[in-house]
Amino acid sequence: MTPPLGALGARLEERLRNRSATVGVVGLGYVGLPLAVGFARAGFSVVGVDADPTRATLLAAGTSPVEDVPTADLRPLVESGRLRVRSTPDALADADAIVICVPTPLGKSKEPDISFIVAAAEGVASVLRPGRLIVLESTTYPGTTDEVLLPRFSKGGLRAGEDIFLAFSPERIDPGNRTWGLARIPKVVGGVTPACRHLAQTLYGQIIEQVVPVSSTQVAEMVKLFENTFRSVNIALVNELAIVCRRLGMSVWEVIDAAATKPFGFMPFSPGPGIGGHCLPSDPHYLSWRTRLAGYEAKFIAFADEINGGMPDYVVELAAGALNEQTKSVKGSRILVLGVAYKAGVGDIRDSPALQIIESLLARGAHLDYCDPRVAQVAVGGQVLKSVAWDHADLAAYDLVLLLTAHAEFTPRRLVDEARLVLDTRNATGVLGEFRHVIRI
């Protein structure tokens, strides 16, 4: 049932339904850009604001820096004026609905750094007029929308649910995932009031197949943290299982595959060299920080962080052990690292465990090259390394080929046939069977 919306809310609802509304998107990164494109493709007039002028200029020229948004999709929207890109928030003055998708990193002590949210909110507040809907999508601790955004938007007497409408809706996009794109991933929405929630539901209902309403912004904020904590904890569990299986002389991959045949009550996760990206290493800390303020120490989060955070060192030890078996040391060995992105199919190296592993191998004296078709160069351990081309890489020339990211380009057949020694942390070569010169995590 539709809650009472008032005159302003009813007008906004109509504009959202007939798609004559202008949608503003603040922060045009992995999350904001696909969203802006989604709204523009659905017929909305969209204004995107990114505070990074270089990025804004690139986007305004119709060039996409985000893998999930091909330039071929972006350019016609920009050229037709359906998607305008700017670098300052005054461009949001005519936006009926504004979605905020800015980064939420950690501070030095792993505390939430919501300075980007605050800056974005200040920008929105400076142009806010009655009848507007604002939705925060950035992952953050429960309470942010009500405690940080609402006071800024209700300055001057604007009332939530009557004059302005405020909601939280976590983004669940999975960069590089071709099966689950924006429109197909159900969208959770919590509003400051029922009218706020209803309007946010209406907005997302235009581009997303299923919208899942929850009772408050805090619940919506918590849903996202729970989802990512769930992943972090389960990855930690399977990483520990990998360590245990090695000690007990069995393949963790065989154990997982067999366990996954259980048709209920089990969900397979994969071990790997550690977790990376903007979300998994950070989001659980938003929850533990908030929980600590409430006088409770969240134990699973700390445990998972310890195990996942130890995986890069574990991989370095496996590499050293594998070379040792060949009567070689890390020092002086030629090592080729395959993949520096934090996961397959993307070029994102934020918090990638590969950087820590490379730094450690370099510090131990390895002669190291890397290859990542999506990352042209990386700065690590005081050096700038440039990717070697996969097609021209002489795998046999290396003492060890260390696969960290299972990009599709790294064909297992070639790896197994050409490399002299392989450490495969992703089980990319598992499909081909067992080989004496291939070690798996």
Ligand X SMILES: NC(=O)c1ccc[n+]([C@@H]2O[C@H](COP(=O)([O-])OP(=O)(O)OC[C@H]3O[C@@H](n4cnc5c(N)ncnc54)[C@H](O)[C@@H]3O)[C@@H](O)[C@H]2O)c1
Question: In terms of Cα–Cα distance, which of 167, 183, 215, 124 is closest to 9?
Answer: 167
> Of 74, 173, 195, 280, which lies in the binding site for ligand X, with binding defined by CB under 6 A?
173
- Residue 173: CB minimum distance to ligand X, A: 5
- Residue 196: CB minimum distance to ligand X, A: 20
> Of 21, 25, 31, 36, which lies in the binding site for ligand X, with binding defined by CB under 6 A?
31
User: Cα separations (Å) of 95 from 30, 49, 98, 206, 361?
Assistant: 21, 11, 6, 16, 50
The interface with ligand X within residues 407-426 (CB under 6 A) comprises none
Question: In terms of Cα–Cα distance, which of 180, 172, 168 is closest to 214?
Answer: 168
- Residue 125: CB minimum distance to ligand X, A: 12
Number of residues that bind ligand X (CB under 6 A): 29
Question: By C-beta, is 308 or 333 nearer to ligand X?
Answer: 308
d(CA 319, CA 431): 22
Question: In terms of Cα–Cα distance, which of 258, 257, 268 is closest to 231?
Answer: 268
Task: Look at strands 22-26 and 97-100 and give their pairing.
Answer: parallel
Which window, 23-31, 299-307, 382-390, 422-430, contacts ligand X (CB under 6 A)? Answer: 23-31
d(CA 408, CA 23): 36
d(CA 172, CA 219): 15
The interface with ligand X within residues 68-127 (CB under 6 A) comprises 101-104, 116, 119-120, 123
Position 136 contacts ligand X (CB under 6 A): no
**x/- binding map, residues 35-74, to ligand X, per CB under 6 A?**
--------------xxxx--x-------------------
- Residue 135: CB minimum distance to ligand X, A: 12
Which window, 1-9, 29-37, 302-310, 429-437, contacts ligand X (CB under 6 A)? Answer: 29-37
- Would you give the DSSP letter of residue 211? E
> Of 26, 37, 341, 357, which lies in the binding site for ligand X, with binding defined by CB under 6 A?
26
> Of 171, 369, 399, 424, which lies in the binding site for ligand X, with binding defined by CB under 6 A?
171
> Of 69, 279, 315, 323, which lies in the binding site for ligand X, with binding defined by CB under 6 A?
279
Which residues, including other chains, have CB under 8 Å from residue 212's CB and lie 6 or more apart? 186, 187, 188, 189
Cite the active site residues.
279
User: Cα separations (Å) of 269 from 256, 260, 278, 434, 440?
Assistant: 8, 9, 19, 21, 16
- Residue 202: CB minimum distance to ligand X, A: 22
> Of 5, 9, 23, 32, which lies in the binding site for ligand X, with binding defined by CB under 6 A?
32
Question: By C-beta, is 173 or 380 nearer to ligand X?
Answer: 173
- Residue 353: CB minimum distance to ligand X, A: 16
- Residue 87: CB minimum distance to ligand X, A: 8
> How large is the angle between the packed helices 299-325 and 353-363, nearest 10 degrees?
40
Which tokens is 250 given?
């069995």
Assign 3-class secondary structure to 283-347: HHHHHHHHHHHCCCCCHHHHHHHHHHHHHHHHHHHHHHHHHHHCCCCCCCCEEEEECCCCCCCCC
Contact residues: ligand X, CB under 6 A: 26-32, 49-52, 55, 101-104, 116, 119-120, 123, 137-139, 171-173, 175, 278-279
